[in-house]
């Protein structure tokens, strides 16, 4: 499964490339061991979590995920568990809550969100902003906390706003204890980063 996905996502340039999947997979495995979760389910769901992502797919269902799982002979019960997890992990806006039902789902969501914050998260955010043709910053444009998934999808503000609209909200949305601990450290790093960013922007350092 890992090999199929590596070739599929190798050339992705929006921050959802193979290495994102690889990091989420690794993080999810680490959290799963600590939280005593079903490792097999966590591995499959973390490897497949972006295959049918709403940002890229032109349909709404997890059809590609199901096809991939069937092609390697995974049983129906497992397919159901994995697709259920995948449909609940994605971030859909500040005011839109999606909490997975199972511990395996909670772990995959934590791992995916951890990869969106900290040093890696900052790099991915600017990479994604570039991919979308956004400014890095514009002091005249305030962040908006989107209360609907539709508004969040249409958002086109500068990349620094994305910290306030998503990244800085993730620490308090972690599901597992291990996720919370890792997120605290990454969150602090982003706050330090922003402080330095504004200081340089205003020619103070
Ligand atoms: Ni992801």
CATH topology of domain 2-201: Hypothetical protein af1432 (1.10.3210)
Phi-psi region of 73 (alpha: psi -120 to 50; beta: other; left: phi over 0): left
Q: Separation of 77 CA from ligand 1 center, angstroms? A: 23
Q: Separation of 17 CA from ligand 1 center, angstroms? A: 9
- Is a pLDDT exceeding 80 seen at residue 57? no
Q: Could you tell me which residues come within 8 angstroms of residue 148 by beta carbon, excluding any fewer than 6 positions away?
A: 93, 95, 96
Spatial contact of 104 and 37, defined as CB atoms under 8 Å apart: yes
Q: Separation of 76 CA from ligand 1 center, angstroms? A: 24
- Is a pLDDT exceeding 60 seen at residue 192? yes
How far is CA 167 from each of CA 31, 111, 188, rounded to the nearest angstrom?
20, 14, 12
Q: Separation of 49 CA from ligand 1 center, angstroms? A: 6
CA–CA separation, 147 vs 89, rounded Å? 18
Q: Separation of 50 CA from ligand 1 center, angstroms? A: 5
* Per-residue pLDDT tens digits for 43-55: 999 999 988 765 4
Average pLDDT of the residues in 161-169: 94
Q: How many CB atoms lie within 10 A of CB 97?
A: 8
CA–CA separation, 12 vs 33, rounded Å? 29
Spatial contact of 126 and 136, defined as CB atoms under 8 Å apart: yes
Q: Separation of 47 CA from ligand 1 center, angstroms? A: 9
- Is a pLDDT exceeding 80 seen at residue 15? no
CA–CA separation, 39 vs 36, rounded Å? 8
Average pLDDT of the residues in 48-76: 77
Q: Separation of 202 CA from ligand 1 center, angstroms? A: 34
Q: Separation of 21 CA from ligand 1 center, angstroms? A: 6
* Per-residue pLDDT tens digits for 138-164: 999 988 887 787 777 777 789 999 999
- Is a pLDDT exceeding 70 seen at residue 92? no
Report the mean per-residue pLDDT for the chain.
88
* Per-residue pLDDT tens digits for 100-146: 999 999 999 999 999 999 999 999 999 999 999 999 999 999 888 87
- Is a pLDDT exceeding 80 seen at residue 185? yes
- Weakest mean pLDDT among 89-103, 121-135, 167-181: 89-103
The domain locations on the chain are 2-201
Question: Which one is predicted more confidently, 205 or 27?
Answer: 27
- Is a pLDDT exceeding 60 seen at residue 197? yes
Helix 39-48 vs helix 76-89: angle between axes, to the nearest 10 degrees? Answer: 60
pTM of the model: 0.86
% the chain with pLDDT above 90: 63
- Is a pLDDT exceeding 60 seen at residue 70? yes
- The runs of H, that is alpha helices, within the chain are 2-9, 18-34, 39-48, 63-71, 76-89, 103-114, 118-131, 149-154, 159-165, 177-201
- 190 burial (CB, 10 Å; 0-12 / 13-18 / 19+) is buried
Question: What local confidence, expressed as pLDDT, does residue 56 receive?
Answer: 47
Spatial contact of 51 and 87, defined as CB atoms under 8 Å apart: no
Nearest-10 Cα torsion for 22, 46, 13, 98: -140
Residues in the 5 Å CB sphere of ion ligand 1: 50, 112
């Amino acid at each position: 499964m890992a090999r199929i996905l590596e070739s599929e996502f190798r050339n992705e340039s929006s921050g959802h490339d193979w290495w994102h999947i690889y990091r989420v997979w690794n993080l999810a495995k680490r959290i799963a061991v600590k939280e005593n979760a079903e490792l097999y389910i966590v591995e499959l769901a973390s490897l497949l979590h972006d295959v049918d992502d709403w940002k890229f797919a032109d349909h709404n269902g997890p059809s590609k995920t199901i096809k991939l799982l069937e092609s390697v002979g995974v049983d129906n019960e497992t397919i159901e568990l994995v697709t259920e997890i995948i449909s609940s992990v994605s971030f859909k806006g500040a005011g839109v809550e999606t909490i997975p039902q199972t511990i395996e789902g909670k772990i995959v969501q934590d791992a995916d969100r951890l990869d969106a914050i900290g040093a890696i998260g900052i790099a991915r955010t600017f990479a994604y902003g570039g991919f979308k043709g956004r400014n890095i910053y514009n002091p005249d444009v305030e962040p908006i906390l989107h209360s609907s998934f539709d508004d969040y999808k249409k958002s086109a503000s500068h990349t620094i706003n994305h910290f306030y609209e998503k990244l800085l909200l993730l620490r308090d949305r972690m599901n597992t204890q291990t996720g919370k601990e890792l997120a605290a450290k990454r969150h602090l790093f982003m706050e330090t980063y922003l402080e330095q960013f504004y200081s340089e922007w205003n020619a103070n350092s």
